[in-house]
A = this chain, B = another copy of it.
Amino acid sequence: MATIKQPSNPEADPRVKAVFDDIRATRKTDFVNNLWRSLAFNPALLESTWAEVKQVMATPSHLDPLTKELIYIAVSIANSCSYCVHSHTAAARAKGMTDEQHAELLAIVSLAAKTNHLANGLQLPLDAAFDAGAAA
């Protein structure tokens, strides 16, 4: 079940083919997952989404690739995106995540959720010490 009809032959459209080729080259795999196959129903949305994912996630930066995937999984769990949890857990594993790190990720995410709900239940006043906007 899906809310859009996946194009049956998406690469007949040269804009789609260009994105799929770049996904395969960037990820060094022939596999193009359903997110991209579905977004092919609108080439402009496909292009802009992939460009941003490539820029943020597949370009050398100030955080290492595995850390970036762990952050991505954390947000996806909190937003209850089943597809994203699956796809980014697979990606993290491909980037070297061990079972111990996976268990620890789940422990941190679920602890954060726990204290998020505690703090939202207490409606705590902010400590002045946390204000990064204050003059030094």
Contacts and interface: CB of A to CB of B under 8 A. Distances in A.
B56 A100 contact: no
Given A74-B75, A113-B117, A129-B33, A122 B93 contact: no
B77 A120 contact: yes
A86 B1 contact: yes
Interface stretch (A11-19, A20-28, A45-53): A45-53
A86 B123 CA distance: 8
B124 A38 contact: yes
Contacts of A101: 62-63
Contact of A122 (B4, B31, B126): B4
Interface residues of A, number: 87
A116 B79 contact: yes
A79 B82 contact: no
A128 to B, nearest CB: 8
A91 to B, nearest CB: 9
Interface of A: 1-6, 31, 33-35, 38-39, 41-42, 44-45, 48-49, 52-53, 55-57, 61-63, 67-68, 70-90, 93, 98-127, 129-134, 136
Given A38-B122, A38-B124, 5 more contacts: A33-B130, A52-B114, A85-B120, A93-B132, A110-B115
